[in-house]
Chain A
Amino acid sequence: MQINTELLEKIVAEVLAEIGGGSSGASVATAAPEEVAGVKLTETGKAARGTDPKEVVLAISPAFATTFKKTITGIPLADVLRQVFAGVEEEGLHVRVIRVYHTADVAFMSHLGARLSGSGIGIGILSRGTSIIHQRDLNPLSNLELFPQAPVIDLPAFRAIGKNAAKYAKGESPNPVPTKNDPMARPRYQGLAALLHNKEASFIDRSKAPQELSVTFE
């Protein structure tokens, strides 16, 4: 696997700038949403509980596709969204996307998505790629399918996550997305993941409710 040196360099540069600037990482960043190539995300108000049994709610993290444009291995987040949409849609269902601001914990994000979802099924994805398929009536730290190793999740896997989420929403018992395991992902990526998570956590706003997003692929 190729380490994403471009992203690494960018983060390190930002970190160094922050140390040099003496600004505190704890303050909530409120930069205006930046553009990410390939997809347009527009907030349309507070996310509401849905009643449509044919929807899967996708909960994305505070800086997904704004500050962060790629996963930890460099997959563009617009492509991630496109594949999850495609996976859900090929099962005849549709995706509703919400952005979570009060946490960047993927378990609680995906469980919130499931609770707001008309079908009771939610997906949570962090900017670095870590994902979960969740169901409304499970405990937050349980799940239907967990993808804890961001570095091994590729685009076909994101499509399969969408597809399986839709199948659960239809009441089916699909074969889980085949588990992948790279024992050397931790040595290579965990330090970087910590940097990325600290960056993403700086966008957490504990007082801000999850927002509904309209999604247009370009």
Chain B
Amino acid sequence: MAVSKRSKRFEVLENRPVHKDGFIGEWIDVGLIAMGSPNDPKPSIRIEGDKVVEMDGRRREEFSMIEQFVADYAINVKNAPEAMAKSELEIARMLVDVNVPRGECIRVMTALTPAKIARVMDSLNIVEIMMAMQKMRCRQTPGNQCHITNVKDHPVLLAADAAEGALRGFIEMETTVGIVRYGAFNALALLVGGQTGRRGTLTQDALEEAFELEVGMRGLTSYAETVSVYGTESVFVDGDDTPWSKSFLASAYASRGLKMRFTSGTGSEVQMGAAEGKSMLYLEVLCIMVTKGAGVQGLQNGSISCIGVPGAVPSGLRAIACENLVTMCLDLEVASGNDQTFSHSDQRRTARTIPQLFPGTDLIFSGYAAEPNYDNMFAGSNWDIDDMDDFLSIQRDFKVDGGLRPVSEEDVIAIRNKAARALQAVFAELGFPPITDEEVELATYAHGTKDVGDRNIPEDLKATERLMKEGITGVDVAKALAKRGFRDIAESIILMMRQRVAGDYLQTSAWIDSDGAVYSAVNDPNTYAGPGTGYKMSDGRWNEIKSIPWAVRAEDV
């Protein structure tokens, strides 16, 4: 290793950004292995009556609570004998073959055991995984989600960023906090900013689960995503949870007409020291099946916040693409990650996103940092606002729909200003600590928190406490906006609250268009069956993607 005279090439290579990344070797005993661990169970199934009495080499009496839940609720026992009789390779080929319809693949994949699904995935290379994704995702039109956060939890900046994000095309946006007690203001800022940027934007507040449910029920948010499930019993129990308690929480959301999805991802179990020697992908398949068994419409996965772990071991990024594919194959919406920093290398960052961006997923990012990464309170996303023009160029280079659109500087400034003023009006009307005209101006033109001042945090926190105590709802926010001359935003908020009663956006993979129409896997199902089928970019959309403002136009030369 240590040579006395150094090669100048190796000296240069050592100083490249990729060498700052953590790479670790496999440690099979604790489950530091992406997929195909020798400790993963061998596929098997035995059914008596309509009950699974043996699964993956274990008898029913030996099942963990997760295995019991999966065996009882996530395997179609009627189709299982036929599906399990097929070889892994045969099923893998079905997923890639354009002549096998999506519905047939779903019928087989939903009748397999966890170990079998993991092995099917291990039979696919990365290009085959992408081909399968193109066919297997639920909704035909791809979409995108962003993060809206900042290190100061500055509400005016949050509102402005949300408006810009919505204008840029994100159909969903997620926030979280630096200081937990700011949570209610973050929800409020995204509600006002999101609806200012584009009517119909779905917003969520990733916080403690009881709080999330409460702000959702009040109409301050419109969906939830961070309901976490795990692949080993000890990690589940550590979080004071079981698959049944998570299902109960899911039904609480459904009963109030709120969209929700679960979250899981490779690496979480080993990160928490409880992988029981199983591979990350095998444990993630259990999570996906728990989600299916709970009757939830979708899942956010793709390692998510643990990506530093699969990202550090061999075949880790391939395993992450497999997680997304398995979710699609169980007929669930997938919000496919790409949402956390994992590398210093621009090449690795881009490569990591290709398997979701090129085939398209329901939400390619979950989410994209619509602020600079120094303000991203999910500890940084794989792409941030400073990468935006690179993203728009890649959409254009490959004629691929990543869900985003080029925007003009004037439009962005105008929409940010409007959102900041709207939040100023809401704060004034509800008696919260005032937002000054200077704060509106700074947030309008800011890059991030380094360009805005400091709020009086203790005073803001007292107001967030009041917001929660007094039971302020989306209707109160709409009233405040209408009273202060922001009638259009008020109407958008009422439209969002009306969705709770209609319930259309509880369908799999739903998003809401600017006219209030809901698109989902029901009315926009994926029909891909080879070249010339499936999602076809409209001329209007292609013209939009083509028109990056910085391209030189022949007529101007």
A-side residues, CB < 8 A to B, are: 15, 18-19, 24-26, 103-105, 108, 139-146, 148-149, 173-176, 179-195, 197-198, 200-202, 204
Contact = CB atoms under 8 A, between A and B. Distances in A.
Contacts of A108: 238
Nearest to B379: A186
B29 interface: yes
A181 B379 contact: yes
Contacts of B30: 25, 198
A18 B22 contact: no
Given A18-B29, A179-B151, A201-B272, 5 more contacts: A142-B207, A183-B341, A186-B342, A190-B307, A190-B342
A205 to B, nearest CB: 14
B340 A186 contact: yes
Most buried by A among B29, B343, B458: B29
A183 B376 contact: yes
Nearest to B272: A197
Contacts of A186: 305, 307-308, 340-342, 379-380
A157 to B, nearest CB: 13
B29 A188 contact: no
A25 B309 contact: no
Contacts of B381: 183
Nearest to B183: A142
Contact of B240 (A140, A145, A148): A140
Interface in B314-371: 340-344
B116 to A, nearest CB: 26
Size class of B's contact patch?
35 or more
A175 B457 contact: yes
Interface in B202-230: 207-211
Nearest to B340: A186
Interface string B4-30: 000000000000000011111001011
B180 A175 contact: no
A187 B342 contact: yes
A77 B513 CA distance: 53
Interface of B: 20-24, 27, 29-30, 32, 151-153, 178-181, 207-211, 238-240, 267, 270-274, 276, 305-309, 311-313, 340-344, 373-377, 379-381, 384, 457-458, 461-462
5 contacts: A105-B272, A188-B22, A190-B309, A201-B272, A202-B273
A187 B22 contact: yes
A16 to B, nearest CB: 9
Name which of A175, A176, A185 has the most chain B CB atoms within 10 A of its CB: A176
A187 B27 contact: no
B152 A179 contact: yes
B273 A200 contact: yes
Contacts of B179: 145, 176, 179
Contact of A184 (B20, B23, B207, B208): B20
A175 B238 contact: no
A61 B229 CA distance: 24
B273 A173 contact: no
A196 to B, nearest CB: 9
B376 A193 contact: no
Contacts of A174: 458
B344 A194 contact: no
Nearest to A200: B273
A45 B474 CA distance: 52
A139 B208 CA distance: 8
Give 3 nearest A-B pairs by CB, closest first.
Answer: A190-B308, A183-B380, A201-B273
A144 B458 CA distance: 12
B273 A187 contact: no
A189 B22 CA distance: 7
A146 B180 contact: yes
Which of B153, B341, B375 has the largest number of chain A CB atoms within 10 A? B341
B180 A187 contact: no
Given A19-B27, A24-B29, A194-B267, A187 B211 contact: no
Nearest to A177: B179
A215 B470 CA distance: 45
B267 A187 contact: no
A148 to B, nearest CB: 7
Contacts of A144: 180-181
Contacts of A198: 30, 32, 270, 273
Contact of A104 (B273, B305, B457): B273
A103 B373 CA distance: 32
Contacts of B373: 183
A181 B376 CA distance: 8
Contacts of A180: 151
A141 to B, nearest CB: 5
A187 B343 contact: yes
Most buried by A among B22, B270, B306, B313: B22
Contacts of B210: 139
A136 to B, nearest CB: 15
A148 B340 CA distance: 15
Contact of B309 (A104, A149, A184, A191): A191
B180 A105 contact: no
Contacts of B208: 139, 141-142
Contact of A191 (B23, B211, B377): B23
Given A149-B379, A173-B461, A183-B341, A188 B151 contact: no
B271 A141 contact: no
Given A183-B373, A201-B274, A25 B20 contact: no
Contacts of A173: 458, 461-462
A191 B379 contact: no
Contacts of A201: 272-274
A28 B489 CA distance: 58
Contacts of B180: 142-146
Contacts of A103: 238
B178 A19 contact: no
A144 to B, nearest CB: 7
B490 to A, nearest CB: 31
Contacts of B312: 190-191
B151 A148 contact: no
A60 B180 CA distance: 22
Contacts of B344: 184, 187-188
Given A181-B377, A183-B341, A194 B309 contact: yes
Given A174-B458, A176-B179, A198-B30, A190 B306 contact: yes
Contacts of A189: 22, 308
A176 B456 CA distance: 11
A29 to B, nearest CB: 12
Contacts of B307: 186, 190
Contact of B209 (A18, A141, A148): A141
